[in-house]
Structure 1
């Protein structure tokens, strides 16, 4: 999955002499074995990732011990390499989380796809770095280099939490940078909630994001036993915050697809991921549709919202025998299948 170097890492491979002077703290949009490449040519990097799937993969590699979570460990770092994430707000958050671990004079690098926002590097680094230089540009990617000019203040986690109210659901949603539904309830999730009906028993919120679906279900069905999963550490933290803000309780944990899930459920409900980084990404949802029946109790239901053009009904029918369309609004459709 991560074996082939991305164009960004291919560009970075031309700059190993510069990047490998010190053990860098590497974070952001990690999609390949760049940490292994750095370790081959210099001190092993320290890798911090919010992506549980990538964390698991890199954990099986020799020479690099990754960290997974919403924040890096508090140990000092000799330098930073930030691979530009999809959302600029997430890049700002990662800089705020990682730069306090550096001392003035430490090198700071930012790299990414030219269409992915990396050109904002000089502006993003300006509060802490006097000068930011473009070091290289190739494969439609760029590398920027700077030096930390002044100490960065410790991140105040509460300052990065954004809240918005859902009057219809009687909820306050807490979100963090880069998490889906960052500042409003998207139309697909609203359609799903409008057609979820009454639920009971054990319920799994797959790809929980900021926790809107799970929290809404708990408000309507307080007796359900809810579990919420995601591969993104910031999404998991946002879900925990949303639950706490509304006085609700659920089990929230990282899972790559259904791999870390135990037992069977009465309902699996999801507005599944549609994008990963800058790419359209269907694999997670297609795997869910293939495997969900094995995680449902007899008579249990899979409830799913998806873009109307996606060919998911055929895949659901292949594994469940039947797929019902509960609702549609032109852009989205709600599908239900029973075990």
Structure 2
């Protein structure tokens, strides 16, 4: 059943207007409604943008890059708030620039997503009026662009890559807008620590290596060197940007490719490393798990190895049955488990 926030969103999308823009994030289903003529879409999730294009939407995949749009060029912006505060603040700031006087920013969200706070902040930023409507736990706020915009919200310099020292090695280039951007994921650190024993070979890895769901590239940067034939892929535009810059900064030769769980890649990888995005906002039992495993099965070369790290409650071994010749739990540390998957030669 469609949730109340999406019901409100659907009503706004059905009222197409000129000089409007729809901003989409991970919390929007691709099949929400057929395309509306003249309503462009910008989003940072590759699978969603691809699906929207297939339904006829004029959809652009980017890290919410709105720089080519002129100041005061829009009458309406529709946006269901994202899960991360810097993203929301950044897009509200962009709305203050892009909306013409008396133009409307329509914010939608659940009360638990902070929509009421974002609504108040957006009114201060846009300098106009605010109207709110409640439907169960869902809220719809209409903010108008006034004569004098307020001070910019703190978006943590959303567009800027910055070097962070996250471990004892060289700094990593990272930014808001990708999961775990300002820390080393504990699961990834566990996988990297155990990787030589898991594969029975020292680092760096040789042959064709895929970092599946690469984020800013932590696994690839630490498991590979300049001799590795490396490919990194992710669904998130911010992750791809950060990973590409990290590879260049460290002197690693590798491709960074936007893909839906690896669907767009050609097979033949000797090693696949994966810390899937099974955190808040992503399913653990259904489609996403199956997509990662099915693409791993397709992409892995005969005799190759796939090394996954997942939370203990993820039923990865059960779902891998029938897809791989060998399935082995290498280790667990009470929080994460390491699963080794391989095919016969």
TM-score grouping bracket, smaller chain normalisation: 0.7 to 0.9
Structure 1 equivalent of residue 90 of structure 2? 93
Give the Å deviation of 1:69.
0.8
Q: Quick check: 1:47 aligned with 2:41?
A: yes
Structure 2 equivalent of residue 238 of structure 1? 242
SS of 2:233's equivalent in the other structure is: strand
Among 292, 311, 322, the residue aligned to 1:307: 311
Structure 1 equivalent of residue 328 of structure 2? 324
- After TM superposition, the structure 1 = structure 2 runs for residues 22-171 of structure 1, keeping only pairs within 5 Å, are 22-29=18-25, 30-34=28-32, 36=34, 39=36, 44-62=38-56, 64-70=57-63, 71-72=65-66, 74-75=68-69, 76-126=73-123, 128-149=125-146, 150=148, 160-168=160-168, 170-171=169-170
Structure 2 gaps of 5+ residues are 197-202
Give the Å deviation of 1:44.
3.0
Conserved? CA contact 1:86–1:117, under 8 Å? no
Conserved? CA contact 1:265–1:296, under 8 Å? yes
SS of 2:134's equivalent in the other structure is: strand
When the two structures are aligned, how many residues end up with a matched partner? 326
RMSD (CA atoms): 2.8
Among 265, 271, 277, the residue aligned to 1:267: 271
Give the Å deviation of 1:293.
2.7
Give the Å deviation of 1:212.
1.1
Q: For the residues of structure 1 that align with 2:13 and 2:234, how far apart are their CA atoms? A: 34
Distance change >3 Å, CA 49–CA 203, structure 1 → 2? same
Distance change >3 Å, CA 322–CA 34, structure 1 → 2? closer
Structure 1 equivalent of residue 7 of structure 2? 10
Conserved? CA contact 1:102–1:151, under 8 Å? no
SS of 1:209's equivalent in the other structure is: coil
Structure 1 gaps of 5+ residues are none
Q: Quick check: 1:204 aligned with 2:210?
A: yes
Using the size of structure 1 for normalisation, the TM-score is: 0.85
Give the Å deviation of 1:134.
3.8
Q: For the residues of structure 2 that align with 1:176 and 1:264, how far apart are their CA atoms? A: 31
Q: For the residues of structure 1 that align with 2:275 and 2:163, how far apart are their CA atoms? A: 20
Conserved? CA contact 1:114–1:140, under 8 Å? yes
Give the Å deviation of 1:214.
1.5
Distance change >3 Å, CA 246–CA 222, structure 1 → 2? closer
Give the Å deviation of 1:279.
5.8
Q: Which moved more, 1:260-269 or 1:25-34?
A: 25-34
Conserved? CA contact 2:123–2:144, under 8 Å? no
